[in-house]
Amino acid sequence: MTKEASAPPGHAHEPDRETLQSSLPIEANALAHTIFDAGGRLIVVGGFVRDALRGKTSKDLDFEVYGLAGSALGEILSGLGFTSPVGRQFPVWRHTGLGFDVSLPRADGIANDSERRGAALGQSIERNQGAPQDMPIAPNSRSFEAAARGRDLTLNAIGWDISHECWVDPLAGRKDLQSGILRAADTSRFAADPLRVLRVARLSAELGARVDDELMTLCAAQNLSSVPVERIAGELRRILSLAENPWRAFERLREMGQLAIFAPVAALTGVPQDPVWHPEGDVYLHTGLVVNEASKIAAKLSEDAAEVLMWAAMCHDLGKAETTEVDSSGRVRSPGHDVASARLAQKWLESLKIGSRLTSRVEALCRHHLAPVIFVKDGAGPKAYRRLARKLADADLEMVDLERVARADQLGRTTKDALEGRFDAGERFLASARLASVERGVAEDVVRAADWMRAGVPAGPALGRLLRRCREVQDDTGWTAADQIMAVVSEGED
């Protein structure tokens, strides 16, 4: 068994046959043998192959089957626990337990039924058990090449033939991956799905890859207005989940002239900031630095906490686009931009249909993102911290969630403290929240409905008002005795 030449610096060595084969789930090998015995050929495509070539593990397992008709494939898969095919134009069989997607190959990006069936039938493969590790002209590779040209990029058009244990790479995608360049699989078919523009931007950021000139021109020419908002939101989610430098994807879109797909972000371009607090430049540049700082923080968090942080980092200053003003002396101010940012974030996220919980949490973080610095500067007391914690709790947030956004905001600059990685106010904010016993949430209500009902207050609006007033007294005082709180509230009702 031989290995190919070493990859350039910064790129993983290409895995050998044994390493890649062993990285597949045992069920994938079993499925490949079943399909092979039926006269077909199972090829792994997509993200799993691309990530394997980068030395990374992926759960993104997509398979294409060659040499079998759809009816024959359906019979095999139904007996192995796969669902009925999903999708009319491009049917996909899914095994939810294993996380496998199996499909017939597509002749091109907008393949009709006859084209897809023709690509799926192909020619009967040679049963060459002793195939070499790299087989550019593999059995039935003509059909694979037809399907590969329907994909977006050459580095997404690489296949791994499980049964033959060989690469199928008719478009030299491995070379492009090693060279760090994104090229269209077929320039005449790239426009089949305008969403590919966002994928190019995302992969450029994720891989640190250059977009070749021809592909940049293709991306710039696409009209994204017809792409369903749910798909745009899904791709934006993937961009924000990138471990390093997600803002590079926004930069690629800006260079393509396609940043308007994220209109609230595009509106930040050229919006000035006070150079004392923001020597880095305009709000767009600042937001990019904040998003990248947030990604560093998010890497250590749960998926849920990371997601809300990234969306809030992107949206925290949206309001500056409409509140920024420059006075006669040249001073730049953005009064009320926190409130405006919350409103604009809510409106945008609702239009993206990303879910009410995430939307409300991002809205709250944008609304209060200045609080950590202001509270420390003004010497706010426990009462203020408890009230703020209560507002955050209403959005299913904690003070630590807010501090992370404020930290990213402060480090996403080119001030001396930011360049040194210092955010002393954040540490003092959390210390004060800890003293007020609200760092990780608010205390449970001391006074319950049952307490008032035992005192003779019936269920109804009056009871609700009393409970709300009790909560306010609890937050103002920090008291933990129900009788004490109820006494003060009762006096106020008299």
Cα 54 → chain centroid: 20
Structure tokens at 384: 């203020």
What single-letter DSSP state applies at residue 152? S
Q: What is the pLDDT of residue 142?
A: 55
3-class secondary-structure state, position 219: helix
pTM over 0.95: no
Residue with the larger pLDDT of the pair 483 and 206: 206
Question: Do 107 and 146 contact (CB within 8 A), yes or no?
Answer: yes
Angle at 287 between CA 236 and CA 432, to 5 degrees: 110
Cβ contacts of 249 within 8 Å, gap of 6 or more: 198, 201, 202, 204, 205, 206, 239, 242
Residue with the larger pLDDT of the pair 58 and 349: 349
DSSP calls for 9-40: TTSPPPPPHHHHHHHS-HHHHHHHHHHHHTT-
Does the structure show a pLDDT above 70 at 357?
Answer: yes
Q: Given 326, 354, 376, which residue is the final one in a domain? A: 376
- Answer yes or no: is 385 within a domain: no
Q: What is the pLDDT of residue 88?
A: 67
- Answer yes or no: is 420 within a domain: no
Q: Given 187, 214, 243, which residue is the final one in a domain? A: 187
Mean pLDDT to the nearest integer, 472-478: 81
Looking at the structure, tell me whether residues 26 and 90 fall in a common domain: yes
Does the structure show a pLDDT above 80 at 319?
Answer: yes
Looking at the structure, tell me whether residues 30 and 134 fall in a common domain: yes
Q: What is the pLDDT of residue 13?
A: 56
Sheet architecture: strand order including 159-161: 92-95, 100-103, 61-66, 41-45, 159-161, 166-168
Looking at the structure, tell me whether residues 46 and 118 fall in a common domain: yes
**Which stretches does DSSP call E strand in 254-370?**
325-326, 332-333
Q: Which domain holds residue 301?
A: 196-376
Structure tokens at 436: 């007020």
Looking at the structure, tell me whether residues 232 and 322 fall in a common domain: yes
Does the structure show a pLDDT above 70 at 105?
Answer: yes
Looking at the structure, tell me whether residues 206 and 289 fall in a common domain: yes
Partners of residue 65 on adjacent β-strands? 42
Mean pLDDT to the nearest integer, 281-306: 97
Confidence of residue 377 (pLDDT cuts 50, 70, 90): very high
Structure tokens at 430: 């959390």
pLDDT tens by residue, 115-138? 333 333 332 233 333 333 443 334
Cβ contacts of 216 within 8 Å, gap of 6 or more: 255, 256
Q: What is the pLDDT of residue 121?
A: 31
Task: State the chain's mean pLDDT as an integer.
Answer: 87
